[in-house]
Structure 1
């Protein structure tokens, strides 16, 4: 049997298949071997024996899972082989945004845990802004269907059963808009009346950097942490857009934006570090002030993120460049990959992780080509610098309208390359998705998701961190350039129609097969509607009544699919955008 005949995920670091081994009823000998790397294992199948050696409980679990994948593809005899396997990154995490609309049900969380277990993800973070039911803050979370303390403890138990560390993730500086919009908390805002960003007015998002606000945020963390086994916490602190534009304007004018940010970050870090917590923070703001990195409290970890695949710089028009600068983004590094993102921390010897993404947010149906290149780049840079952790992020900007199954392929690929980049960078993802994620014997599901997740780049428009099809539906047009291409859009619509037919003909046997079909159809229909709108923008005749009818039908599909995956609170974030679109057709 050739190596390529076995479909394995993750592929092991080393595997050598030399022929036919014993019958599959041959018992497996399991032996602890503390000399192996952490989480590592060796498998040896001879003519007569099957032996698994493992370093620790994780290695035993991963080795047994790989043996089961091999056994399922060996009807009568094991292949004669040797395997030696261990992870590139000690911590391989997945972070799911549950604060932009979509809060998953327990069934959805269970499905995600099975997938994380498959690809050897050993840390899970749920990004929260307002979606934990804090005891004295019901007005903030009342309509959001938040996770309760009991939900967190249930999830923590499920994670522990699979050897996954559940980690608290609560933003404590920026992205506090769900708090600051209420009169009770308005006085805590840096700029209570909001601000302009990417050409649109935004409500207040950033806390004024004061000791009182640090104490307020730390009280939230102290209420949250007892429900987790882990002592690790991600306190966010990213995208503090208004800092220096309101209450802290005088301090920033006197001392600089970077020092004021670093001072408040330290107010949050030091008390938690003193209590023995392992604290993470997003590294985007402080990375622009490399001179301040050595002054940060020791013991914390910066999480360096970037989500665009490395490519040649885009010649953005000046109005778009101005919007990037306004948002604190350096246009010169937007598509430069992870190396410039991590440089401030690497130069200072400050601990950091790398955080790529699934590229599914702001897309409906994903951007798998961007995701794979971004995930590989993160693994290359992280491995080069010897970092401990690799965190795959899955955001939900503008209503989290992409369903969970759209993220499954990118999450699967990210898990594989974070385990072993060299063995998995050319992974046959379609085959893996068919066999292990959706269990589709027809072989349709993997290719369908791949095709859908590649149409975004053929519209004639250039976008940043988004699909033009999503932009067309939601109106988030601040970072777009180019003109719609009629031929490309016509091909996109034809490809989506073909994909819809293939989804109907596929036969997934996974536990959520019906849900997967329904949510993929709804997501593909939303993307198709975006393509139709772009055709109209290009001057093609598209009947407004037909657009209105198509949107109304698609919205109902989206509603129904949402209800099977997610709690009811939060769906209105995306529906409000779709309702505005419907108003255009009236």
Structure 2
């Protein structure tokens, strides 16, 4: 008999597959309100109407048309799909909470009307419309007719993609990732760099051919913007920079010889950080930059040992983080940092005492990759101190070929649920490719489940993601051969 636990399957994962068969509409994420109206044959074809639309809404219409064409849904007058803005078609049921990214879908015989107050709202309505239309070779295309009202629970819903400890995605693969994330209403993509983003100011920092070039970064940002996805680059700016520090030119910035942590007291540390992030700000013009700051295990074992012995690890750590944030203030970006080093009860008084200018400039990203009954202890230090925070669960793909679903699904479910309860502004689901063994196409289940958890209010049900994987599998599998670069 197949040993499902040895393969990383779980009772929750198997239940997800079982439960999906009983679900009626299989919409992912699950909308807030759905009134099903039965199945409608599309033998007469579909026409998409976007009268008076701006460029954003025309793109949403074109994206929807492309999907229907790929599914061999004929063009014709059988069903009109109308894309429109709320301003031109007022609806008293369209609440203020819905306006930033929410939408409605309304079916009347012959017409499916998609309404949003904003460009993202119209786009997300079109993504749901894709899921309402089913088509298979040789079968009659069908519409699952429904009236829908929907909007997200969390403002920021994204994926953190490790591009430093394994294959470095090609630009084409990243575009496929962008399209798939957007189809399930994620709005953030965060590539992770240790030494795989090329910087003009530091030509030795990345290996040519095994890193993203500035031109690729610029192209990625422009492509993602069409899909209402913000690209947030993470460049480690404290720990995890051992590949850079192997170069003699940068060695004086190291906390310990041949180590991976920058020494806070060394002038060269700030010179490196300043150069990298000025370059990043030019390549990635969005509102956020991520400076990392996790797992600074060597801090206090080298150049800063006297200071750490005198004052303690957390004060030395926070002093350097404040210095980094102050240096980056002219870039006018919100700075994300990992919350593991100071996100604990011992550091809580220090967090509360931080200047308000620092708190206004940063967002802590609390991470936890194992299921727990309650994740509030990860978040309370930031909530009590007034520092905005996100939650970061994990697909649990690291150091193994197939993700451990027993860990991943419960972690994503519980951490996102508790983040919503405690006021987290966002969720950043994480991929980590430690040792490079993870098979990219095995990660989609957890990626899409994470997107559903961030959009939906409260505890996402496991069944929501199984149909999502099935719906996108054909398109996704075609990308398996284009991951090409290894760092």
Q: TM-score range, shorter-chain basis? A: 0.7 to 0.9
SS in structure 1 at match of 2:205: helix
Structure 1 contact 191–245 (Cα < 8 Å) conserved: yes
Of 362, 387, 391, 1:350 maps to: 387
Query: Is it true that 1:57 corresponds to 2:113 in the alignment?
Result: no
Matched, 1:170 2:235: yes
Equivalent residue for 1:68? Answer: 130
Match status 1:253 vs 2:295: no
SS at 2:274's partner residue? helix
Q: Describe the SS at the equivalent of 1:139.
A: coil
Gaps of 5+ in 2: 1-20, 47-77, 88-93
Are 1:29 and 1:51, in contact at CA under 8 Å, matched by a contact in 2? yes
Following TM superposition, by how much is the alpha carbon of 1:3 offset from its aligned partner in structure 2, in angstroms? 9.0
Deviation of residue 309 (structure 1)?
1.3
**In 1, distance between residues paired with 2:33 and 2:406?**
26
Asked if structure 1 preserves the Cα contact closer than 8 Å seen for 2:393 and 2:430, the reply is yes
Give the structure-2-normalised TM-score: 0.80
2:54 counterpart of 1:28: no
Contact 2:83 2:113 in 1 (8 A): yes
Task: Give the Cα separation in 1 of the matches to 2:287 and 2:443.
Answer: 28
- 1:374 lines up with 2:411 in the alignment: yes
Of 453, 472, 483, 1:565 maps to: 483
Aligned match of 1:528? none
Give the conservation status (yes or no) of the 8 Å contact 1:45–1:79: no
**Residue 403 of structure 1: CA displacement?**
2.3
Question: How far apart, in 2, do the equivalents of 1:374 and 1:365 lie?
Answer: 16
- In structure 2, what is the Cα distance between the partners aligned to 1:179 and 1:267? 21
Distance 1:225 1:366, change over 3 A: same
Counterparts of 2:140 and 2:176, CA distance in 1: 28
Residue 82 of structure 1: CA displacement?
1.5
Q: Write the distance in 2 (CA, Å) between the matches of 1:105 and 1:238.
A: 26
Taking structure 1 as reference, are residues 381 and 277 closer, same or farther at Cα in structure 2, changes over 3 Å only? same
Matched, 1:413 2:449: yes
Secondary structure class of the residue paired with 1:29 = strand
> Aligned residue for 2:365?
303
Question: Are the counterparts in 1 of residues 26 and 467 from structure 2 also a CA contact under 8 Å?
Answer: yes
Post-superposition offset of 1:181: 1.7
2:18 equivalent in structure 1:
none
Alignment of 1:439-478 (within 5 A): 439=474
Deviates more, 1:401-410 or 1:423-432: 423-432
Give, in whole Å, the separation in 1 of the partners of 2:316 and 2:437.
Answer: 36
Distance 1:205 1:20, change over 3 A: closer
Compute the RMSD of aligned alpha carbons. Answer: 2.3
Output one character per residue of 1:369-408: Cα deviation in whole Å (capped at 9) or x when no partner: 211111111211111012211101111112x221221211
1:284 aligns with 2:331: no
Counting helix residues as a fraction of each chain, which structure ranks higher?
1
Aligned residue number for residue 341 of structure 1:
378
Long gaps (5+) in structure 1: 193-202, 312-336, 440-509, 517-560, 571-586
Asked if 1:15 is matched to 2:15, the reply is: no
1:44 positional shift: 1.6
Tell me, in whole angstroms, the C-alpha distance in 2 between the residues paired with 1:274 and 1:138. 23
8 A Cα contact 1:305 1:338, kept in partner: no
State whether residues 291 and 337 of structure 2, in contact with CA within 8 Å, keep that contact through their aligned partners in structure 1.
Answer: yes
Q: Once the two structures are superposed, what CA deviation does each residue of 1:274-299 show, in whole Å capped at 9, x if it has no partner?
A: 54211111111111311111233122
8 A contact 1:169–1:233 mirrored in 2: yes
8 A contact 1:22–1:47 mirrored in 2 = no
- Conserved? CA contact 2:368–2:392, under 8 Å: yes
**Match of residue 134, structure 1, among 191, 199, 216:** 199
What is the CA-CA distance between 1:424 and the residue it aligns to? 4.2
Q: What secondary structure does 1:27 align onto?
A: strand
Counterpart-to-counterpart distance in 2, 1:354 and 1:430 = 23
Cα distance change on mapping 1:155 and 1:14 into 2, 3 Å: same
Q: How does 1:141-180 map to 2 (within 5 A)?
A: 141-142=206-207, 145-180=210-245
CA contact (8 A) 2:201 2:276 kept: no
Distance in 1 (alpha carbons) for counterparts of 2:263 and 2:449:
40
